[in-house]
Amino acid sequence: MPYLVAAVLFVGLLCLVDLLMTFGVIRRLREHGAALAGVSGGGVAEPLLGVGETVGDFAAVSVDGEPVLRAFVDRETIVGFLSPGCPPCERRLPEFVAAARAAGRDRVLAVLTDTTEADAAPMLTALGPVARVVVEAEDGALTKAFGVTAFPAFCRIDAGHTVTVVGFDAVFADAPAEV
Where in the chain are the domains? 1-43, 59-172
Pairing of strands 59-61, 67-69: antiparallel
For position 65, what pLDDT does the model report?
Answer: 87
For position 13, what pLDDT does the model report?
Answer: 92
Average pLDDT, the chain: 82
User: How much is the average pLDDT of 166-179?
Assistant: 59
Class of the CATH domain delimited by 59-172: alpha beta
pLDDT at residue 109 greater than cutoff 80:
yes
Dist. CA 128–CA 8, nearest whole Å: 74
- Which one is predicted more confidently, 47 or 179? 47
Q: Would you say 62 and 132 are in contact if contact means Cβ atoms under 8 Å apart? A: yes
User: How much is the average pLDDT of 129-158?
Assistant: 87
pLDDT at residue 42 greater than cutoff 50:
no
pLDDT at residue 68 greater than cutoff 70:
yes
pLDDT bucket at 172, cuts 50 / 70 / 90: low
Please state, as a whole number, how many other Cβ atoms lie within 10 Å of the Cβ of residue 63.
16
Q: Which of 152, 132, 120 minimizes the C-alpha distance to 61?
A: 132
pLDDT at residue 171 greater than cutoff 50:
yes
pLDDT at residue 177 greater than cutoff 70:
no
For position 138, what pLDDT does the model report?
Answer: 80
Q: Would you say 96 and 154 are in contact if contact means Cβ atoms under 8 Å apart? A: yes
pLDDT at residue 86 greater than cutoff 80:
yes
Q: Which of 172, 33, 2 minimizes the C-alpha distance to 93?
A: 172
CA atoms within a 13 Å half-sphere pointing along the CA-CB vector of 11: 6
